[in-house]
Amino acid sequence: WDRRYRHMRMHTALHVMSAVIKGNVTGGQVGADKSRLDFNLEGDVPAKEWVTEEINKLLAVDRPVVPQWVTDEELTSRPELVKTMSVRPPMGQGRVRLLSIDGVDLQACGGTHVATTAEIGRVECTKIENKGKMNRRFIIALA
């Protein structure tokens, strides 16, 4: 259970990071010890200290993490609900699951998450890697 719970905390923390860093997500990986998101970014890349601070500001408020559902048609009409460029949400069953973090994030996601952001604790952006002309990898760990 401990490993699964760490994955749930990390996965939810990645949602918060995707709200902090303004860019399309080009890839990601959830792990028990570290996790990452890759972003297509134009212009200046934020410093890891800033990313850490901004994520933890949002995590300092205990926010509910709640699944919601939308129809395939609604998802198609609201492209902002799909942040990843690499994996499309599963459509064709009539509805798609969204994950809502109150006041922070709303996007299509079928993964496992914690019930509130208070369960995540603090995180640290440990590294930012250059993965191409505009592609940057942000790695986080639970603090």
What is the secondary structure of 71-120 as a DSSP string?
EHHHHHH-GGG--BSS-PPP-SSSEEEEEEETTTEEEE--S---SBGGGT
Query: What pLDDT is recorded for position 84?
Result: 74
How far is Cα 18 from Cα 4, in angstroms, rounded to an integer? 21
* pTM confidence score: 0.91
How far is Cα 113 from Cα 36, in angstroms, rounded to an integer? 16
Give the CA distances from residue 88 to residues 9, 27, 106, 139, in Å, rounded to whole numbers and listed in that order.
23, 12, 15, 22
Specify the number of domains making up the chain: 1
Query: What pLDDT is recorded for position 110?
Result: 84
Query: Residue 25's domain spans which residues?
Result: 2-142
- Tens-place pLDDT, residues 66-82: 999 988 888 888 878 87
Amino acid at 11: H
Q: Contact 27/128 with Cβ under 8 angstroms? A: no
Q: Contact 127/139 with Cβ under 8 angstroms? A: yes
Q: Closest by alpha carbon to 112, among 2, 6, 16?
A: 6
CATH at residue 17: 3.30.980.10
Quote the tokens at residue 58.
């949002």
Q: What is the mean pLDDT of residues 12-18?
A: 97
Which residues does residue 138 pair with via DSSP β-bridges, in sequence order?
37, 128
- Tens-place pLDDT, residues 94-135: 788 899 999 999 988 889 999 999 999 999 999 999 998 899
Lowest mean pLDDT among 22-26, 51-55, 86-90, 139-143: 86-90
